[in-house]
């Protein structure tokens, strides 16, 4: 699987699970546990945003360079770690995963910084 295919698959999975998480938060958590629903909402927002970013990267990056590879890796791992840890806190009340969340955030930031070094070739 090349990087473009990976971005499309990752984007699709993050997008689908983001919509599922958003629906769960809005319908199952919102009334009974508004604080947990708000935590899940943050997870879903970051997940859906970065799903779109990965999809855009799959379409516009030519050639695939080292900064793009780093950005894709950081966005994928960062989104998974950030959103999953928040979802586990919101849904299962696993507060012990809280210290993992900033690692995901740092990876997301690193992905954005990596994009600053991308130089498309015309």
**pLDDT tens for each residue of 36-55:** 999 999 999 999 999 999 99
Backbone angles phi and psi of 118, in degrees to 5: -75, 130
Q: C-alpha angle with apex 54: 68 to 50, nearest 5 degrees?
A: 115
Alpha-carbon torsion, ordered 79, 81, 82, 86, to 10 deg: 130
The upper half-sphere exposure of residue 25, i.e. CA atoms within 13 Å in the direction of its Cβ, equals 23
Residue 34, SS3 per DSSP:
helix
Tens of pLDDT, residue by residue over 68-88, are: 999 999 999 999 999 999 999
Query: In terms of pTM, does the model score above 0.75?
Result: yes
């Amino acid at each position: 699987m090349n990087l473009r295919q990976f971005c499309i698959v990752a984007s699709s999975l993050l997008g689908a699970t983001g919509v599922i998480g958003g629906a769960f938060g809005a319908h199952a958590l919102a009334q009974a546990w508004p604080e947990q629903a708000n935590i899940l909402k943050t997870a879903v927002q970051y997940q859906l945003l970065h799903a779109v970013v990965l999809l855009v990267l799959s379409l516009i990056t030519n050639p695939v360079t080292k900064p793009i590879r780093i950005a894709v890796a950081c966005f994928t791992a960062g989104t998974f770690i950030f959103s999953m840890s928040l979802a586990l806190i919101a849904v299962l009340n696993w507060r012990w995963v809280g210290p993992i969340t900033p690692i995901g955030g740092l990876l997301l930031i690193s992905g954005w910084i990596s994009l600053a070094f991308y130089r498309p070739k015309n």
